[in-house]
Structure 1
Amino acid sequence: MECARSTDFFNGSAVVTLQLFDGTLDRTFCPTFGGTDDFQVISKLVETPTVTPLALHALSLCLLVLCLVFSAASILISLYNSVSNPYQTYMGPIGIYACSSLSACLSVLTLIIFVVNVNVTSMAEDLVKLYADNIPVDLRNKSTEMGLGYYLVIPYTVFCLVAIALIYMYDHAAYTQRKEQQRPTEDAPKEIMMY
């Protein structure tokens, strides 16, 4: 974003780089000479005047943790069912459906919440103003760019959906095979039916 003191023209800039827990603020003449500052995201967001960016960032972190928990549950259920007695499964395909679909939904929700937090709220502006040393600062032309970590959540969502599709196809094939084995004797030859 472009930066200037409230009485000057816009000759400075500020770049805020956010990760899940750490962040970096690079300032050039914003509002003074500037510099590079590293910070902890949660602790700095606590100092900002608005609560919304902190709540949305904490919600994103919690949803990502839940995604990992449901993924681990899906893997453990799959492993248990693959090595257990075939007549005794734990939650069957329903457990994998539930865990994988919850992971996919929560990951999509996390993507949306993070974009809203970065683009709609004044999180970046508030962070720049915290480092302005009580000098009134005007900020404009804010632009955002998502990093690699953000885009890695998309393949995770796709893999969760692929797992649901594979389990559905396997369950459907097993159901079809069971139905064919239980087919009534109307297709059997007449000689067999006489006995």
Structure 2
Amino acid sequence: MPSLVKTLHFLLSALITAVSVGLLGFAMSTMWSQTSMECAELGSSLYNGTANIKMSLFKGELIRVSCPTFGGRELFEVFPKLKQTGTVPLALHGLSVGLLVACLLFSALSILISLYNSVSNPYQTYMGPVGVYTCSSLSAFSSFLVLILYVLNLNVTNMQEDLVKTSSAVDLKDKRAVMQVGYFLLIPYTVLSVIAIFLIYVYDHAAYTQRREQERPTEDAPKEIMMY
């Protein structure tokens, strides 16, 4: 049976990772961005309308005011809509969602390994601290990549403009994007994944130091004594 210290460290790591999974699950179900643009009829220089897009990872809402008519509200599925706009925005968005799914998988593996270590003493393999390091590191790195990729897709590509133009042929300018709660929840998820790694590292380092101290008297013994 593992020691009480080991059990507490691995249970706390599993609990923190479980909290991070809850945050990520909620993040994937809520809004990620809101973008507004000035709108004009195609070929006109009078930008007297607006287009607003609210997006989660899978659903979106487009609200048009005088763009080009008096108004309109459209609910859409993100992936089918992005297929109409081009390959780059669709690929980046699909990659972001795929990385988030990978985060959930790696976090689940980290929880299972932590729980296993809290009730047993496995060897130093992928089922020990190494497994937690690997899974939680991949989770943290993948979520960090999503933080970058989503902003790039929103601000560098013409994803939002093209989404509006699939509904109406208009001219757009002055895009202003504001990140929403779903995006910002990735930050505590990443931080909690790092904390889970730190907790296991503290225990692993202390255990290694203790083993070295127990071996030191034998290493430091005089050679005459060692011969006997």
TM-score over 0.5 for the pair: yes
1:117 aligns with 2:158: no
Equivalent residue for 2:194? 161
- Percent identical among aligned pairs is 61
Higher relative contact order (CA 8 A, sep 6+): 2
Query: Which amino acid in the other structure matches residue 32 of structure 1?
Result: T
Equivalent residue for 1:46? 83
Distance 1:138 1:27 in 2: 13
Query: Which amino acid in the other structure matches residue 151 of structure 1?
Result: F
Task: Tell which structure's C-alpha radius of gyration is larger.
Answer: 1
Moved over 3 A (4+): 87-90, 185-188
TM-score, normalised relative to structure 1: 0.89
Equivalent residue for 1:128? 164
TM-score, normalised relative to structure 2: 0.77
Equivalent residue for 1:28? 65
User: How many Å apart are 1:91 and its aligned residue?
Assistant: 2.4
The aligned runs of 1:2-81 (5 Å cut-off) are 2-5=38-41, 6-48=43-85, 50-81=86-117
User: How many Å apart are 1:181 and its aligned residue?
Assistant: 1.5
Structure 1 unaligned spans of 5+? none
Distance 1:118 1:161 in 2: 27
User: How many Å apart are 1:152 and its aligned residue?
Assistant: 0.3
Distance 2:93 2:134 in 1: 26
User: How many Å apart are 1:88 and its aligned residue?
Assistant: 4.8
User: How many Å apart are 1:187 and its aligned residue?
Assistant: 7.5
SS in 1 for 2:64: strand
Distance 1:38 1:46 in 2: 16
Query: Which amino acid in the other structure matches residue 149 of structure 2?
Result: I
After superposition, the C-alpha distances for 1:76-105 in whole angstroms (9 at most, x for unaligned) are: 000011112x25576211000000100000
Distance 2:122 2:199 in 1: 21
Distance 2:218 2:100 in 1: 53
User: How many Å apart are 1:34 and its aligned residue?
Assistant: 2.1
Aligned length: 186
Distance 2:93 2:173 in 1: 23
On the 8 A contact 2:122/2:128 being kept in 1, the answer is no
Equivalent residue for 2:127? 91
User: How many Å apart are 1:117 and its aligned residue?
Assistant: 0.5
After superposition, the C-alpha distances for 1:103-160 in whole angstroms (9 at most, x for unaligned) are: 000000011000000011101100111111xx3x110000100000000000000011
Structure 2 unaligned spans of 5+? 1-36
Query: Which amino acid in the other structure matches residue 155 of structure 1?
Result: P
